[in-house]
């Protein structure tokens, strides 16, 4: 398409004036226009109601029970039947679309500020289903470039969707400005990374346009947020769609023809790139019909206007690549991300930014290595809940760029290959396979095989001491206490954990019992806080020093044997230090724990050496281990992870104790 030179000056303004005037093929709520800043929100009442309705999971034999309970932050994004104003005070109108308004809202209990899109229910059930569909789609997505969804409230007359607040306005509002090539390159990399993630999750957006891209207040183009998934669909096996959807400027030829795939999103990205660089749309008729005809007739894209002389050949080639007419020849998001133009993103960084990236990568690696949660389902559940519903947006924003840097293949998840590439190849850090396996074992709480954005946030924030605070624990406890009884019991937790009644014994023994500090069979708030502070259950404190014999009674010995037999099913991989660590931690009070190394057998036997009465006094254990010289480095590595000291003499039983302790023994 050829554009007259004289029209270039007014092209941006004309696009602004005509863009909203065209009727768009859209049957979902308009984009959320959000502002202000974000604070902490518990959503406690709504969460209580919805967690009680959570899908239950049927589990098999006891050997698979641990694997059946997995957590992710999406488990706590909830749909509640009730009035939003029970939990929130409504604020001023922030923006309005064809299907409802967007308001500021403040959580009554915490003062948290968020945005809520209010959509009146329609007589057409299909319209109502689309609102729920948008919520369900967003619930599945966990990416730094997608607006975070918190809850959906439904009444007889309205839907209320609670989201994060994004304060920089729409990308559309900035189109009158002239963007640099570097800014547009950063923007397109962010959008394609987001689409690559969505498509990997089997979701197609179908309505990408500048109005549905929000800017942070800093106008950092790498941190844009994609919104309005009202027309999004889950991709079926054939990856084909027939219903026309989207906005006329950004529709691909195949969408207009009614036979298209997820690559419609790639075409939309190409139009956005063209508009941001050139200042006008590549296809723009007097009305929708004429615009559609121009798109159908456009077998190639033209750059005849002098404005394009200011941009590199790679930039123009990139746009042509995305706007490939034949959908079979058009790239996927992953392929588009490999284009030469996007490979220059790192070239745009200053020397100071490169140094900062190196430092951030190293700090992040230490956080990932230090994170340990694989041995406690209660911790996993609590961490996921806090990260999903309590942590403020501002508290984790600094992590977005670090996550994006480590996510080398831009699929929205961190794999072992990503970490190997960024740490070993780029930063020269010697990261061994054992390290990679250990990080994935501990940090990947959902068991997907890769670290999600929220799992990365959890590990990073926990190490910095901002995830588990007293206030956050109180809020998390209140959310999990779905019956408002003041205690966490199996009946309370089974809806949170998503388990059936046949798992009661497992939940009671492996989840409730370790945190039941006073031994009454349930977890109080005091127990809950004490558990995260490292305190042990009172049941571990058997008696006083004078009752040492009773501590060795047959009932105690039977309990130890039972504990050991149950744990023996774990069979930790000899090469997996972290798996061995978890087993040692869980079972060091067993009578005979064995850990097989490549060269010999380490035998660990524990017996009660000293006991005392009181909530805060731990049981003191004397532990002997017979190891060979070859095994010494491996064993010391285990102890250092436990933060324990050791004194090892070849062929002589070893004694070790907690750091700072003057007595021989292990606190358990």
* Exposure b/e, 620-647, CB count within 10 A at least 16 = b: bbbbebebeeebeebbeebbebbebebe
Annotated active-site residue in 75, 87, 207, 305 = 207
With CA atoms as reference, report the closest residue to 418 among 404, 438, 430, 398: 404
SS3 readout for 351-417: HHHHHHHHHHHHHHHHHHHHCCCCCCHHHHHHHHHHHHHHCCHHHHCHHHHHHHHHCCCCCCCECHH
Query: Could you say which DSSP state residue 421 is in?
Result: I
Containing H/E element for 646? strand 644-649
CA atoms of 625 and 593, how far apart (whole Å): 10
Q: DSSP secondary-structure letter at 211?
A: G
**Residues facing 71 on adjacent strands:** none
Given a contact cutoff of 8 angstroms between Cβ atoms, the answer to whether 621 and 668 are in contact is yes
Instruction: Confirm whether residue 225 is marked as ligand binding.
Output: no
CB burial of residue 125 (10 Å; 0-12, 13-18, 19+): exposed
Token output for 177: 């400005």
Query: Is there a catalytic annotation at residue 207?
Result: yes
Q: Give the CA distances from residue 491 to residues 49, 462, 481, 497, in Å, rounded to whole numbers and listed in that order.
A: 14, 28, 10, 10
Write the Ramachandran bin of 246: left for phi over 0, alpha for psi from -120 to 50, otherwise beta. Answer: left
Q: How far apart are CA 460 and CA 109, in angstroms?
A: 27
Give residues with Cβ within 8 angstroms of 365, minimum separation 6.
Answer: 419, 423, 429, 431
> SS in 3 state form for 525-590?
HHHHHHHHCCCCCHHHCCCCHHHHHHHCCHHHHHHHHHHHHHHHHHCCCCCCHHHHHHHHHHHCCC
Beta bridge partners of 602: 595
Q: Could you tell me if 236 and 13 are in contact, meaning their C-beta atoms sit under 8 angstroms apart?
A: no
- Pair of tokens at residue 84: 């939003």
Cα separation of 423 and 408, whole Å?
A: 11
CA–CA dist 132, 138 (Å, integer)? 10
d(CA 214, CA 211): 7
Nearest-10 crossing angle of helices 44-51, 470-480: 40
Query: b or e along 29-58 (b: 16 or more beta carbons within 10 Å of the residue's beta carbon)?
Result: bbbbbbbbebbbbbbbbbbbbbbeebeeee
**Contact residues for 438 (Cβ-Cβ < 8 A; gap 6+):** 369, 576, 577, 578
Length of the chain: 668
Catalytic site residues?
207
Residues at the binding site for ATP are 117
């Amino acid at each position: 398409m050829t554009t007259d030179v004289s029209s270039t000056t007014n092209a941006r303004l004309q696009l602004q004036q005509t863009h909203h005037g065209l009727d768009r093929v859209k049957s979902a709520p308009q984009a959320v226009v959000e502002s202000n800043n974000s604070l902490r929100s518990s959503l406690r009442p709504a969460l209580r109601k919805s967690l009680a309705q959570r899908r239950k999971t049927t589990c098999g034999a006891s050997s698979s029970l641990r694997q059946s309970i997995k957590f992710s932050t999406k488990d706590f994004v909830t749909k509640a039947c009730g009035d939003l104003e029970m939990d929130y005070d409504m604020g001023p109108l922030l923006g309005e679309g064809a299907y409802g308004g967007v308001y500021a809202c403040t959580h009554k209990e915490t003062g948290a500020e968020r945005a809520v899109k209010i959509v009146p229910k329609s007589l057409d059930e299909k319209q109502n289903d689309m609102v729920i569909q948008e919520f369900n789609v967003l619930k599945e997505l966990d990416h730094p470039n997608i607006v975070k969804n918190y809850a959906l409230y439904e009444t007889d007359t309205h839907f209320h969707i609670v989201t994060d607040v994004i304060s920089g306005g729409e990308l559309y509002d900035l189109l009158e400005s002239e963007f640099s090539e570097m800014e547009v390159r950063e923007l397109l990399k962010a959008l394609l990374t987001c689409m690559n993630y969505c498509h990997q999750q089997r979701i197609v957006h179908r309505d990408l346009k500048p109005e549905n891209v929000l800017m942070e207040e800093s106008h950092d183009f790498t941190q844009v947020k994609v919104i309005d998934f009202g027309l999004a669909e889950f991709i079926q096996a054939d990856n084909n769609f027939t219903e026309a959807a989207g906005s006329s400027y950004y529709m691909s030829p195949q969408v207009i023809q009614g036979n298209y795939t997820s690559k419609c999103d790639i075409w939309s990205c190409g139009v956005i790139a063209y508009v941001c660089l050139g200042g006008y749309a590549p296809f723009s008729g007097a009305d929708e019909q004429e615009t559609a005809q121009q798109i159908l007739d456009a077998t190639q894209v033209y750059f005849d206007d002098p404005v394009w002389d200011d941009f590199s050949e790679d930039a123009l080639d990139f746009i042509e690549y995305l706007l490939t007419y034949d959908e079979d020849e058009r790239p996927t998001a992953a392929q588009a991300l490999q284009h030469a133009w996007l490979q220059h993103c790192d070239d745009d960084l200053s020397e100071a930014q490169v140094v900062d990236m190196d430092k951030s990568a190293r700090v992040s690696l230490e956080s990932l290595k230090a994170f340990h949660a694989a041995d406690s389902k209660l911790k996993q559940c609590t961490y996921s809940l806090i990260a999903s519903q309590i942590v403020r947006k501002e508290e984790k924003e600094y992590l977005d760029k670090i996550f994006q840097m480590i996510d080398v293949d831009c699929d929205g998840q961190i794999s072992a290959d990503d970490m190997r590439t960024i740490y070993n190849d780029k930063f020269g850090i010697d990261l061994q396979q054992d390290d990679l396996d250990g990080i994935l074992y501990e940090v990947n709480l959902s068991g997907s095989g890769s670290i999600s954005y929220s799992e990365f946030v959890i590990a990073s924030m926990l190490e910095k001491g901002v995830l588990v605070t007293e206030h956050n624990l109180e809020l998390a406890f209140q959310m999990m206490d779905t019956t408002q009884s003041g205690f966490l019991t199996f009946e309370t937790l089974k809806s949170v954990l998503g388990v059936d009644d046949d798992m009661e014994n497992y939940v009671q023994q492996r989840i409730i019992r370790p945190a039941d500090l006073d031994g009454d069979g349930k977890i109080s708030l005091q127990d809950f806080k004490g558990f995260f502070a490292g305190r042990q259950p009172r049941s571990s404190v058997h008696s006083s020093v004078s009752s040492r014999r009773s501590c060795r009674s047959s009932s105690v010995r039977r309990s130890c044997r039972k504990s050991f037999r149950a744990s023996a099913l774990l069979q930790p991989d000899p090469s997996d230090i972290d798996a061995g660590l978890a087993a040692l931690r869980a079972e060091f009070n067993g009578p005979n724990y064995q850990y097989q190394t490549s060269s010999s057998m380490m035998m660990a036997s524990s017996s009660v050496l000293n006991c005392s009465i009181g909530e805060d006094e731990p049981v003191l254990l004397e532990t002997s281990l017979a190891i060979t010289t070859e095994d010494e480095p491996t064993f010391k590595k285990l102890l250092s992870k436990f933060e324990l000291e050791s004194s090892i003499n070849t062929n002589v039983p070893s004694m070790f104790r907690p750091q700072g302790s003057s007595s021989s023994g292990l606190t358990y």
